């Protein structure tokens, strides 16, 4: 049975896509074409006509369409697989991006990454595919692969988006600097960055996840923190490296502490209260001096005896 929209529904789709995605009506119209084809294929199970298949592959040569294809990716996993199987190189990249997004949203990030890596070839540059693959490689615990893709994007200088990844790999001849001397803290900082980015990325489906949707957009603190981690675990849990799932689960039970700064540098600190002392790393560079009383969240790391000191657990903007 056909699932195509009425003319009024199609016009509404184009207006909504153009407005919500802040893109040209022409791109929104191409997204509508993809959506209509995906719905028709899902409803009937019949292979589209050859002319329609060629038009779909032509449409997916447009990087803007691929960049915003997450808008319709969930509707046509079977169609994207069909297009990938039929496409001649390099026309398989567009369908691969949509298929990867659909897979990643249902906790198959490792499969999604593999599909993208097989379509990213020397001599070709499809930025949406490389960006998506870099983020999935991080979530699958493959920082070396992620960094090679970041270098390919021309973003190899440590910055607010990829600096945490660079620290995990080591940024000097001795593979450490002041920011990355505590290996457990460095990893925890990177993991927190990945969770926050997943929550911000529209293509990730974070805002559609059952856990994340329960929280009002303007609610912060522990409720939003727990929902964000719950959504991330639902979307990436089976692809996470050993220990990270348990670590994230433990983070949801951490409570705020009032502590005193015993010793500190820009990235490392020793904190104490009446009963305990912690060797920790700051989540962001700090200028807090010894003797200062602060309130923070001490997040455990994969290294016993190392903690990540976060002044806030709201969704970071970096």
Task: For residue 111, tell me if it sits in a domain.
Answer: yes
Task: For residue 204, tell me if it sits in a domain.
Answer: yes
Q: Please count the structural domains in the chain.
A: 2
Give the pLDDT confidence score for residue 159 in this predicted structure: 57
Domain-terminating residue out of 106, 121, 136 = 121
Task: For residue 284, tell me if it sits in a domain.
Answer: yes
Give the pLDDT confidence score for residue 1 in this predicted structure: 40
Range with lowest mean pLDDT among 126-135, 137-146, 174-183, 299-308: 174-183
Domain-terminating residue out of 74, 103, 121 = 121
The answer to whether 193 and 199 have CB atoms below 8 angstroms apart is no
Give the pLDDT confidence score for residue 161 in this predicted structure: 74
Residue 191 and residue 112 share a domain: no
Range with lowest mean pLDDT among 106-110, 153-157, 246-250: 153-157
Task: For residue 1, tell me if it sits in a domain.
Answer: no
Residue 224 and residue 106 share a domain: no
Q: Label residues 109-135 b or e (16+ Cβ within 10 Å = b).
A: bbbbbebbbebbeeeeebebbbbbbbb
Report the percentage of the chain scoring pLDDT > 70: 89
Residue 313 and residue 201 share a domain: yes
Task: For residue 17, tell me if it sits in a domain.
Answer: yes
Q: What number is the average pLDDT over the span 71-93?
A: 96
**pLDDT grade, residue 210 (50/70/90)?**
low
Task: For residue 162, tell me if it sits in a domain.
Answer: no
Q: What number is the average pLDDT over the span 32-61?
A: 97
Task: For residue 216, tell me if it sits in a domain.
Answer: yes
Q: Is the peptide bond before 187 cis (omega within 30 degrees of 0)?
A: no
Q: What number is the average pLDDT over the span 228-250?
A: 94
List the domain range (segments joined by +) for residue 194: 184-318
256-298 pLDDT tens trace: 999 999 999 999 999 999 999 999 999 999 999 999 999 999 9
Residue 112 and residue 192 share a domain: no
171-189 pLDDT tens trace: 655 556 778 889 999 999 9
Question: Which has the closest alpha carbon to 158: 179, 129, 128?
Answer: 179
Domain-terminating residue out of 77, 102, 121 = 121
Task: For residue 129, tell me if it sits in a domain.
Answer: no
Q: How far is CA 113 from CA 20, 119, 235, 250, in A?
A: 27, 10, 14, 27
């Amino acid at each position: 049975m056909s699932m195509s929209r009425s003319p009024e529904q199609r016009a509404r789709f184009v207006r909504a896509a153009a407005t919500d995605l802040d893109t040209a009506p022409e791109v929104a119209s191409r997204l509508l074409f993809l959506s209509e084809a995906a719905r028709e294929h899902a409803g009937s199970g019949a292979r589209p006509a050859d002319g329609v298949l060629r038009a779909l592959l032509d449409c997916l040569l447009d990087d803007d369409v691929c960049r915003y294809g997450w808008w319709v990716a969930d509707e046509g996993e079977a169609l994207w697989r069909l297009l990938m199987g039929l496409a001649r190189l390099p026309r398989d990249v567009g369908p691969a991006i949509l298929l990867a997004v659909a897979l990643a949203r249902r906790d198959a990030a490792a499969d999604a990454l593999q599909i993208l890596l097989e379509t990213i070839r020397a001599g070709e540059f499809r930025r949406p595919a490389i960006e998506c693959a870099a983020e999935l490689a991080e979530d699958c615990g493959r920082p070396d692969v992620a960094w090679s893709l970041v270098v390919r994007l021309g973003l190899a200088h440590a910055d607010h988006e990829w600096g945490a990844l660079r620290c995990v790999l080591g940024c000097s001849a001795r593979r450490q600097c002041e920011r990355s001397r505590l290996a457990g803290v460095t990893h925890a900082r990177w993991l927190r960055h990945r969770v926050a980015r997943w929550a911000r990325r529209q293509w990730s489906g974070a805002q559609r996840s059952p856990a994340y949707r329960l929280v009002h957009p303007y609610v912060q603190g522990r409720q939003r923190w727990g929902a964000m981690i719950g959504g991330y675990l639902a979307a990436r849990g089976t692809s996470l490296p050993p220990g990270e799932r348990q670590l994230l689960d433990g983070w949801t039970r951490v409570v705020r502490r009032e502590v005193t700064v015993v010793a500190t540098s820009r990235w490392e600190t020793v904190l104490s209260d009446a009963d305990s002392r912690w060797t920790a790393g700051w989540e962001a560079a700090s200028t807090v001096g010894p003797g200062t009383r602060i309130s923070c969240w001490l997040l455990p790391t994969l290294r016993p005896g190392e903690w990540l000191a976060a002044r806030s657990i709201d969704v970071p903007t970096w």
